[in-house]
């Protein structure tokens, strides 16, 4: 073998197993689990495994790297950290460790409204590592406009550069494992810090996070409230994607919420082509759910996404290795993607195209609904 050995040794299932050994069972289950029979959860990873990539050959080189531009900012790779709640369940340093690792690797971070660290502290930790760090704020629209408005002001003041509005949660999904374990409260000492001192909270106390059936009017009110770009998270139906574009939404994040809301939802990567088709390049489309390897990122890009997000693996890396664990995970995923891109004959992420994606089987075939070559 000549030349440097590239390609990381990384086993996402082993990472999850190591995390399981570190965590209280009910906390592991809260992170790992999904809604109902966990079909949507399983399908997210299985759907990627059903797809294969046809590499293009003799395309020369060298590549120009893995950089992509999203909402006017250059990202080092088409990879971001999806918003997940309660990082201090995984590690005492919680969101601060995640933010430092994301910033150190240049990976954009979507910090959650349900974080156990206030957004101002998350952004400060990220910027201390890297002044250019990109941090977005994930928001559940709240029934009281004043509460939403205050959360938006906190995200703006902290220095977040986009709002990710999660729209797949008009009600809370039935998390089978949490119901079985009776897990419904954070342990003493942890709180949803962004919910502190909001209108309606007792002084110094927090409010519950409402999952509530907002409508397009509420989104328009949010649009009037802020100049930050709005990213809608949890759009799966192409008609909703079209409406979102017409309503001036700045980007979409195709997601089934990691299988935690509607158990009958399709895998994220299966929903992606139709949404990308409906959007027709007018705004960027991102995706998350089941992304575990560079090949998954490459498949997502080939099917129309500009970048892919990771949720659970970040929490597993945090549980097992704190900041260093997350840094290693994010660097590994980027290196893995760079290698896959090169193996597919791509010089840059945009070179990956839908004609390179086939459904496994003999003979392999173009995924249903996709034109033949
Ligand atoms: C423990 C956990 C908490 C989550 N919390 C939120 C949240 O507060 N808001 C949100 O929009 N999505 C939340 N999600 C969904 C993630 O943003 C993302 O869609 C999903 O985890 C991606 O799938 P993956 O875990 O397979 O990578 C959460 C997911 C997990 C696993
Ligand atoms: C507890 C919720 C606010 C967050 C969560 O678990 C989710 O959105 O999946």
pLDDT tens-place string over residues 45-74:
999 999 999 999 999 988 889 999 999 999
Protein residue closest via CA to atom 5 of ligand 2: 85
pLDDT tens digits, 75-97: 999 999 999 999 999 999 999 99
Is the pLDDT score of 175 beyond 70? yes
pLDDT at residue 368 in the model: 74
Is the pLDDT score of 4 beyond 70? no
What's the CATH class of domain 12-355? alpha beta
Q: Please tell me the number of the ligand nearest to residue 29's CA.
A: 1
Q: Is 257 a catalytic residue?
A: yes
Protein residue closest via CA to atom 8 of ligand 1: 85
Structural domain spans, the chain = 12-355
Average model confidence (pLDDT) for the chain? 96
Task: Give the 3-state DSSP-derived string for the chain, with helices as H, strands as E and coil as C.
Answer: CCCCCCCCCCCHHHHHHHHHHHCCHHHHHHHHCCECCCHHHHHHHHHHHCEEECCCCCCCCCCCCCCEEECCEEECCCEEECCCCCHHHCCCCHHHHHHHHHHHCCCCEEEECCCCCCHHHHHHHHHHHCCCCCEEEEECCCCCHHHHHHHHHHHHHHCCCCEEEECCCCCCCCEHHHHHHCCCCCCCCCCCHHHECCCCCCCCCECCCCCCCCCHHHHHHHHHHCCCCEEEECCCCHHHHHHHHHCCCCEEEECCHHHCCCCCCCCHHHHHHHHHHHHCCCCCEEEECCCCCHHHHHHHHHCCCCEEEECHHHHHHHHHHHHHHHHHHHHHHHHHHHHHHHHCCCCCHHHCCHHHEEECCCCCECCCCCCCC
| pTM as predicted | 0.98
Please tell me which residue in 145, 257, 347, 365 is annotated as part of the active site: 257
ipTM, two decimals: 0.99
């Amino acid at each position: 073998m000549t030349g440097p050995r590239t390609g990381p040794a990384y086993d996402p299932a082993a990472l999850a197993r190591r995390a399981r050994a570190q965590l209280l069972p009910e906390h592991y289950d809260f992170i790992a689990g999904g809604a109902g029979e966990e079909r949507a959860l399983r399908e997210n990873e299985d759907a990627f495994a059903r797809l294969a990539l046809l590499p293009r050959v003799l395309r020369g080189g060298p590549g120009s790297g893995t950089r992509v531009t999203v909402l006017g900012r250059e990202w080092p790779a088409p990879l971001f950290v999806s918003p997940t709640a309660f990082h201090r369940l995984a590690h005492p340093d919680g969101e601060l460790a995640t933010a430092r690792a994301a910033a150190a690797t240049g990976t954009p971070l979507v910090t959650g409204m349900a974080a156990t660290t206030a957004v101002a502290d998350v952004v400060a930790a990220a910027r201390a590592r890297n002044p250019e760090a990109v941090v977005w704020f994930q928001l559940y629209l709240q029934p009281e406009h004043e509460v939403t408005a205050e959360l938006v002001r906190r995200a703006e003041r902290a220095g977040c550069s986009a709002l990710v509005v999660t729209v797949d949660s008009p009600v809370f999904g039935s998390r089978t494992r949490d119901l079985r374990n009776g897990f419904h409260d954070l342990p003493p000492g942890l709180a949803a810090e962004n919910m502190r001192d909001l209108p309606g909270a007792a002084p110094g106390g927090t409010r519950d996070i409402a999952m509530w059936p907002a409508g397009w009017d509420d989104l328009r009110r949010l649009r009037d409230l802020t100049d930050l770009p709005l990213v809608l998270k949890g759009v799966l139906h192409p008609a909703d994607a079209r409406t979102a574009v017409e309503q001036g939404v700045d980007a979409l994040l195709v997601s089934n919420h990691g299988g935690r809301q509607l158990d009958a939802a399709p895998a994220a990567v299966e929903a992606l082509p139709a949404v990308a088709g409906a959007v027709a390049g007018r705004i960027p489309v991102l995706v998350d759910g089941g992304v575990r390897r560079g090949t998954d990122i490459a498949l997502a890009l080939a099917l129309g996404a500009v970048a892919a997000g990771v949720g659970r693996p970040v929490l597993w890396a945090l549980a097992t290795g704190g900041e260093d664990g997350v840094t290693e995970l994010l660097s590994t995923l980027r290196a893995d993607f760079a290698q896959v891109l090169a193996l597919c004959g791509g010089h840059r992420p945009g070179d990956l195209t839908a004609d390179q994606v086939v459904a496994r089987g003999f003979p392999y075939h173009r995924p249903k609904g996709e034109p033949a070559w």
